[in-house]
Amino acid sequence: MVTVRAPATSANLGSGFDVFGLALARPADVVHVEKADETTITVEGIGSQYVPEDPRKNTVGAVAEALDAPASITIDKGVRPSSGLGSSAASAAGAAVALDALYGRETDPEELVRIAAKGEAVVSGEAHADNVAPAILGGFTIATPEGITSMETSLSLVACLPDIVVSTRDARAVVPSELSLDDLVGTVGAAATLTAGVARNDPELVGRGMADGVVTPTRAALIDGYDAVHAAATAAGATGVTVSGAGPAVLAVCQDGTTEAVASAMIDAFAEQGVDSHAYQTIVGQGAEVF
């Protein structure tokens, strides 16, 4: 039996739609695998009732098939499904790392990212790697069709998850299919600024680089109270606030020492809109690990 802890992740970070991703130190899924003739999947934990156990419909089943590594797989969900915190990616990444270890394959980690992304396609209809890359490699990742770049960084974060469900498919349907040259220039500038901030562990630069007027506003409209939560987090010490992945979680990058104040401000702002929420005070974390 092999057991792997695979972290929640936050994709996009505003300006890096479908490209940037960050591993969060918590929450996480835990995946147990044991060799078997045929793959079976059991799902326990937070929101497990919403995760199909049929291997043809679960991200993890696609991973086991791609690795040709049949197993009895148990997923203990710590990352709520449809949260914007890379729930399906955590399971897919955890399974990829666990099955690779179980069968002693020693697959290159970038190849494992590609395999886990195939699992993601089962859920979203598209194989994008911006959640599975940080879930496997840890830190900050830049996922492009040409390859994955990963960087270690140190940032204080709050991921506030409202009690709302936004499906990735719905959140992708609202994204504009075209953008103006001005928007392109703005996005490139922001994404470059964010990357420099990550390299310097500088929350001010990262926050400035999270600005995005193209994708984020369309997703924010699906989250009750988003504008109030954004304003409250900023007033409490966040340098940048954006929709985490496809939402509804909201990610705040914080000045050191402000995560507690930012977390309560976000929870209070959601509550004022009649929305319950839970805030994870966290930092940038490691990728999936066997333990």
Name the nearest CA neighbour of 26 among 78, 101, 82, 75. 78
Is 90 known to sit in a ligand binding site? yes
Q: Rank residues 18 and 110 by Cβ distance to ligand HSE and give the closer one.
A: 18
Please enumerate, as own/partner, the contacts of 184-189 that have beta carbons within 8 Å and a separation of 24 or more: 186/211, 186/213, 187/15, 187/212, 187/214
- Residue 48, sorted as left (phi over 0), alpha (psi -120 to 50) or beta, turns out to be alpha
For 202, other C-beta atoms within 10 Å of its C-beta total 18
CB of 124 to ligand HSE, least distance (A): 5
What is the token pair recorded at 240? Answer: 């940048």
Is 86 known to sit in a ligand binding site? yes
CB of 100 to ligand HSE, least distance (A): 22
What is the rounded distance in angstroms from the CA atom of residue 172 to the CA atom of residue 70? 32
**DSSP run (H or E) holding 240:** strand 238-243
Is 261 known to sit in a ligand binding site? no
What is the rounded distance in angstroms from the CA atom of residue 93 to the CA atom of residue 23? 12
Q: Rank residues 16 and 207 by Cβ distance to ligand HSE and give the closer one.
A: 16
CB of 76 to ligand HSE, least distance (A): 21
CB of 16 to ligand HSE, least distance (A): 9
Residue with tokens 């050191």: 256
Q: Rank residues 102 and 171 by Cβ distance to ligand HSE and give the closer one.
A: 171
CB of 289 to ligand HSE, least distance (A): 22
Vertex 58 angle, CA 57 and 60, to 5°: 140
Is 156 known to sit in a ligand binding site? no
Catalytic residues: 120, 168
Is 83 known to sit in a ligand binding site? yes
**DSSP run (H or E) holding 263:** helix 259-272
Q: Rank residues 60 and 246 by Cβ distance to ligand HSE and give the closer one.
A: 246
* Residues whose CB falls within 8 Å of the CB of residue 108, separated by 6 or more in sequence, listed in order: none
CB of 103 to ligand HSE, least distance (A): 27
**Strand ordering across the sheet containing 156-162:** 238-243, 250-254, 156-162, 277-283
Is 264 known to sit in a ligand binding site? no
Is 81 known to sit in a ligand binding site? yes
Q: Rank residues 32 and 118 by Cβ distance to ligand HSE and give the closer one.
A: 118
What is the rounded distance in angstroms from the CA atom of residue 137 to the CA atom of residue 93? 10
Q: Rank residues 202 and 212 by Cβ distance to ligand HSE and give the closer one.
A: 212
Interface residue list for ligand HSE (CB under 6 A) = 11-12, 18, 124, 128, 130-131, 168, 171-172, 245-246
Q: Angle 59-66/109-124 helices, nearest 10 degrees?
A: 140
* Residues of each annotated binding site: 80-90
Annotated binding-site members for ATP: 80-90
